Structure formats: C-alpha cells, structure tokens
Structure 1
Amino acid sequence: MDSTPLHLIATGCSTKMAIVTRKQKMSSSLERVPCPQLIADYHAGMGGVDPHDQLRYQSYSLQQCVAFKKYYQQLFLGFVDMTIVNRFIIHKLVMKKCGYMRRLHLELMSVSAATFEANLNAEDLVLVPLPVGKRRQHSCKVCFATADPNTKTFESSYYRPTCEDQCGG
C-alpha cells in the first residue's frame, strides 16, 4: 500500500476488512496491515500503468490528434476517447485492437442519411425567434459633436462622411 491518501468511489463492492502485506521501508520486513476490501482489490489489479491509460495513449487517441482552444472541446474528445477504449476493453476477447478499430470505422462509414429518421412535420420545422432587447444606438463622431446637449446620445468611433455635409461639421 502507498503512503499517499487514496480516494475511491465504487458501487457493489465488499465492505469487509482485508489483510494485506506491506514491506517496511527501513527494515525490509513484511507487515500485515488491515484495509478495506476495495483497496485490496485495487492493488491486486494494478500492475504498473492502468490498462485503460495504456490503450488510450497509444496511437489511436482522439484527444492527442486534435487541438482545440476551448477547454470543453478537449474535454469532450477525452470522454469520446474513454468510451471507445472502454468499449474495446469490454470486447477485447472477441477481436484484437486493429480488427476492432477497422470494424468501428466501417460502422461509422456505413451511416447514411437514410439511417436517421427525419421529422418532416412543418410545425416542428418553424423556428420561433427569441425576444431580443433593443440595443443602444451610437452616434457617429460628427453627430455626437453637433448634437444638442440635452439629447441622449452616445459617442462611437464610427465616422460617416455624409453627416459632415448634413450637420455642417
């Protein structure tokens, strides 16, 4: 067992205490330590790097192939990547990774427009515009400079050549 804290969330695991052997750092003697069964199962299954991470960070990682500026797009690709790897792990006994990826690509390429059923009801196709508040209108520089002081106008960096002729500026 490690000396660092470990937080695990699991469903359907045993709550019984198990005994694990731990090697002391200084004396190299083995010591029996009680711990929850979940921790014992975790350490029994871990033999170095997690197999999920090994498969994910090899040559077929979507998250490493494409770079986005928005963090949520990278996060979404990570989730897609994890689902593909998890599906492969579940079906690993059936075929090897190359065959699995080939089958997955063929399934994705066989999707056509006829696969999706379209709802051609005319009422569902109508988009109702959302109510939008009125935006503040900014005057051009000439109109702002020649406006009455009691008028509520807002200056902008916009300049219209026609205003110079109309306003006499």
Structure 2
Amino acid sequence: MESLLSEFTVSTLLFNIICSFFASFFFIFTLLIFFKPKFEIVPLIAKNNSPFDNIDQICYSFKIINKSLFGAYNIEARTNYYYIIQGENGIINKIFSRIELKTDTINYIPGYIPFKKNYGHNCIQFFTYEDLPEKMKYSPTHIQFQITARHSLTGLNNIFTHEFVNKAAIREGKFKEGNFKEILQC
C-alpha cells in the first residue's frame, strides 16, 4: 500500500485526468460524426403522373437517399414555399407557407449497402399534388425541403435541408430507381 501511495503524485493525477478528458472528447466526437443519420436530398424535383392507383393527376416528387450504413427511423419531411422580404435596416425576413405532402412521415429507412448494385431500399420519394411551377413563377418564391431523421443505433437526430430557388430544378420524368440522382424521361 505504501509503494502505491509513493507512486501517486499530482503530476500523475493531472496526466491521467487529461488523458481521460481527451479520450472522452474523442469518443463523443466520433459518435457525433459517424453515428448520426446521413441523408442526401436530390437537388431535382420530378414532375410525373401519380404513381398511385386510381389517381390520374400530375404530381411532383422529392427524393432522399440514406447514405449512412445504419438505418434511420422517425423520418419526417417538411416542404414549404418561402419568399424573402427585405425589412428595415437591410434585415431579410423569410415568409413561409406549407406545401402539403401525400405522406410526410416514414417509420424506417434501411441503411446504405456500398457494394450492392441493385439496392434501393435506402431511397424514398415524397409526393405533392400542388402545382409547384405555378407558385414559383413569381421570382421571389422558393421551395424548402427538409428532412429530420433519427439514427437507429444511437438515437441521434439530424436535420437536412435543401432549397430549390428556381424552376429549373423541376424536370419532367421519374427518378431513376436506386442510389441515383437522375430523372428519366417518361
């Protein structure tokens, strides 16, 4: 016991505390960087006929791709029109109005499998029947698409946002199946 106490010094204690602090810090940042959901929002909007039975109507679709190796759950999509108004003293205000989606929540999306070619379970599309180009005719009107997801292993949340600022993002056709960001002509 006496030899154990003789080896104990203040410098040893400080060294151990600093090492523990850096190890904890490294662990937390590793967790936050690698174990949060990673989604990609395709920067295009597809204009096509409704994929649902008994609905003969034009719809617009947004596509997301889960890029993390783990699945994600509690996925919520929000889509809004917004326009910018310059207020007093040069302050910019964004005014939002909601775009109604056919489905705005998904319970679970599987993770990305890197070397599997014919895999698309990690890709989801959200549809709306609102006439997006008509609203975007007016130059200051933009579309904001936002995804909130929770990582299936750690439970950490992440929010992904993409802003469509002009009508050129809207293309006639359907999204290519799988981990692709292309729109195919119908």
Task: Name the structure where strand makes up a greater proportion of residues.
Answer: 2
Flag whether TM exceeds 0.5 (same fold): no
TM-score tier (shorter): under 0.3
Higher helix content, 1 or 2: 1
Computing the radius of gyration from Cα coordinates, the structure with the larger value is 1
Superposition TM-score, scaled by structure 2 size = 0.19
